């Protein structure tokens, strides 16, 4: 192999490694549509998800617990497109596992739930719009941050049409959302897969309200 080719290959490999360390994991998140929905305790949600076969067990990973996908995962989550290569098994090596999880290299599940309403969104999310007049809200990041830091309430008024509502009313188009409970399936790229009706029904029956899907990297 010519020297320049070798060098180019080495550079590409370094770049790939670098990207893997800096690139956040692709995720599909599910959460109740209604931001006022009460939190569901993690153990209760995990029990239900084990019962339908979305997950099994529960293994510590850093400060969190991750759930490997269960036997019914591919029946409950529909992958679109023609037979994509989906990695479902966690690596055996603990160090490798941590890296693979951080990069979202295999499908696995996390649950996060708490009393506090939280915002989760893609860093590249597009400017959200008013639910009434559809005008973009250019100040949304500043307003959101003030709310997250407890400096302001969630109240929000559209400068274009005067709609009085809450930050939770902003329309983010599947890249961000507000909730107390998030079910996270890591390792899924935007629109690569969608939750099937059986999974959505299970989640809706837990809260009495429908759930929605967002895609993000974080």
- Residue numbers at the binding site for Zn ion (CB under 5 A): 130, 132-133, 158, 160-161, 163
- The helix-helix angle for 94-103 and 3-22 (nearest 10°) equals 80
**Interior angle at CA 189, CA 183 and CA 191, nearest 5:** 90
Closer residue to Zn ion, CB minimum distance, 56 or 163: 163
Closer residue to Zn ion, CB minimum distance, 51 or 133: 133
CB of 127 to Zn ion, least distance (A): 13
Closer residue to Zn ion, CB minimum distance, 137 or 184: 137
CB of 23 to Zn ion, least distance (A): 35
**Interior angle at CA 193, CA 187 and CA 198, nearest 5:** 110
Alpha-carbon span 176 to 123, nearest angstrom: 9
CB of 134 to Zn ion, least distance (A): 7
- 48 φ/ψ angles, rounded to the nearest 5 degrees: -65, -40
Closer residue to Zn ion, CB minimum distance, 169 or 201: 169
φ/ψ region of 37 (left if φ > 0, alpha if ψ in -120 to 50, else beta) reads beta
CB of 103 to Zn ion, least distance (A): 39
């Amino acid at each position: 192999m010519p020297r320049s080719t070798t060098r180019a290959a080495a550079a590409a490999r370094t770049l790939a490694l670098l990207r893997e360390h800096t690139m956040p994991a692709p995720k599909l998140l599910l959460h109740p549509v209604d931001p006022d929905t009460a939190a569901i305790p993690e153990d209760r949600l995990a029990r239900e998800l084990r019962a339908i076969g979305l997950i099994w067990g529960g293994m510590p990973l850093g400060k969190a617990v991750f759930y490997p996908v269960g036997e019914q995962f591919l029946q409950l989550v529909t992958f679109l497109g023609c037979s994509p290569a989906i990695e479902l098994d966690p690596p055996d090596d603990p160090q490798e596992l941590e890296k693979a999880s951080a990069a979202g290299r295999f499908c696995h599940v996390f649950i996060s739930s708490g009393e506090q309403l939280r915002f989760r969104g893609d860093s590249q999310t597009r400017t959200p719009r008013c639910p009434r007049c559809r005008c973009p809200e250019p100040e949304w990041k500043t307003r959101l941050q003030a709310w997250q830091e407890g400096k302001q309430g969630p109240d929000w008024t559209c400068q274009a049409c005067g709609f009085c509502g809450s930050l939770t009313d902003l329309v983010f188009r599947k890249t961000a959302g507000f909730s107390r409970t998030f079910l996270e399936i890591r390792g899924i790229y935007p629109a690569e897969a969608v939750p099937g009706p059986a999974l959505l029904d299970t989640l809706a029956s837990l809260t009495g309200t429908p759930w929605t899907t967002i895609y993000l990297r974080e």
